[in-house]
Amino acid sequence: MKFNSGIAVAIVLSFAVVGLTACEKKGPAQKAGESIDNAAKKVGDKMEEAGDKVKDAVKK
């Protein structure tokens, strides 16, 4: 059985096109996930600030 390079190239190109197309747009689930991540980071930052304030108050 001979290896047909034309078929191999076509297969690789089709995977590349599908992969690039999938990365173009953010779907609603990805946008929602990013919003949740941003909100969690903001909450974490505020909790860290509050912890620092408590620590400073205890030291005084």
Domain ranges of the chain: 5-59
Q: Please, which residues have CB within 8 angstroms of residue 42's CB and are 6 or more apart in sequence?
A: none
Q: How far apart are CA 40 and CA 45, in angstroms?
A: 9
Amino acid at 31: K
Identify the pLDDT of residue 1: 47
pTM of the predicted model over 0.75? no
Identify the pLDDT of residue 21: 58
Reported as a single tens digit per residue, the pLDDT across 2-58 is 556 677 667 777 776 666 555 667 889 999 999 999 999 999 999 999 999 998 888
